[in-house]
């Protein structure tokens, strides 16, 4: 039986951490769809066009160690605005969403485009300052030399581009539950989401 949990929201709102914990709790597979766009964006650094990069994407491309960088995030947001890039990545995501045994997908358009009939749809948000502080900590821990202000600017720029694009923009599905993690610890957010999913599963 399939069971799809769609988790969308702006950058660094806590989607990834919540998705991983939820997938582990229910024994579901997890797909971070941002990685597909980051890997596509990173391939353009080597001279490929965004469409060539998306159409030639392989599992190996997802193993690059530079995908979490700020540059890869910006490149991902740019290639993600190209409709042909999104089209090239749809089938893989939809097959993943409907795999046997359940799946958690996190991204920007999971509840609206990839899995509009998902059994559970969440839209995770947090204040800009809290999101920037969390992402800054992660990047510094990875050795990036970047200021909090630069991270905040980067997140806002990406969110604006992701929300303004014509194809599959960042926005909550009409039937999504909004979870604001600004004042929550990770454990609290995960516990709240698990309780909500358990209630839906009956
Ligand atoms: O989730 P992330 O920050 O790793 O995503 C990087 C970029 O990829 C994000 O700014 C927009 C794009 N993206 C998208 O357009 N659709 C998705 N489902 C996931 C990511």
For residue 160, the model assigns a pLDDT of 97
158 CA: nearest ligand 1 atom:
10
Q: Which residue lies with its CA nearest to atom 3 of ligand 1? A: 11
Q: How far apart are CA 155 and CA 34, in angstroms?
A: 14
For residue 186, the model assigns a pLDDT of 87
Give me the CATH number covering residue 57: 3.40.50.300
For residue 142, the model assigns a pLDDT of 87
Q: Which residue lies with its CA nearest to atom 9 of ligand 1? A: 77
159 CA: nearest ligand 1 atom:
10
Backbone angles phi, psi at 7, to 5 degrees: -125, 110
If you measure from the C-alpha of residue 66 to the centroid of ligand 1, how many angstroms do you get, rounded to a whole number?
A: 15
**Number of other CB atoms surrounding residue 57 within 10 Å:** 19
Q: Which residue lies with its CA nearest to atom 13 of ligand 1? A: 34
- Domain tally, the chain: 1
Q: Is residue 154 within 6 Å of ligand 1 at its C-beta? A: no
The pTM of this model reads 0.96
**Could you tell me the mean pLDDT of each successive run of 10 residues in the chain, 202 residues long?**
97 96 98 98 97 98 94 96 98 98 98 98 98 94 93 97 98 98 94 95 80
* Residues spanned by the domain of 21: 4-201
For residue 110, the model assigns a pLDDT of 98
Q: Which residues of 159-177 are buried (b: 16+ CB within 10 A; e: fewer)?
A: bebbeebeebbbebbeebb
Q: Which residue lies with its CA nearest to atom 11 of ligand 1? A: 77
For residue 108, the model assigns a pLDDT of 98
Q: Is residue 108 within 6 Å of ligand 1 at its C-beta? A: yes
For residue 85, the model assigns a pLDDT of 98
């Amino acid at each position: 039986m399939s069971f799809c949990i769609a988790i969308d929201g702006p950058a660094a709102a806590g989607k990834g951490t919540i998705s991983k914990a939820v997938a582990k709790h229910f024994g579901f597979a997890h797909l971070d769809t941002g990685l597909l766009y980051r890997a596509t964006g990173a391939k353009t650094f080597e001279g490929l066009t965004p469409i060539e990069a998306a159409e030639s994407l392989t599992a190996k491309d997802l193993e690059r160690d530079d995908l979490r960088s700020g540059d890869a995030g910006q490149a991902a947001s740019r290639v993600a605005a190209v409709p042909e890039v999104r089209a090239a990545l749809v089938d893989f995501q939809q097959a993943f969403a409907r795999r046997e045994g359940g799946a958690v997908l996190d991204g920007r358009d999971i509840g609206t485009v990839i899995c509009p009939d998902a059994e559970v749809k969440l839209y995770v948000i947090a204040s800009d300052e809290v999101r920037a502080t969390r992402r800054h900590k992660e990047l510094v821990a990875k050795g990036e030399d970047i200021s909090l202000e630069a991270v905040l600017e980067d997140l806002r720029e990406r969110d604006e581009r992701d929300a303004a694009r014509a194809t599959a923009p960042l926005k909550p599905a009409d039937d999504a539950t909004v979870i604001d993690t600004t004042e929550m610890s990770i454990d609290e957010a995960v516990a709240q989401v698990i309780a909500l999913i358990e209630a839906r599963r009956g």
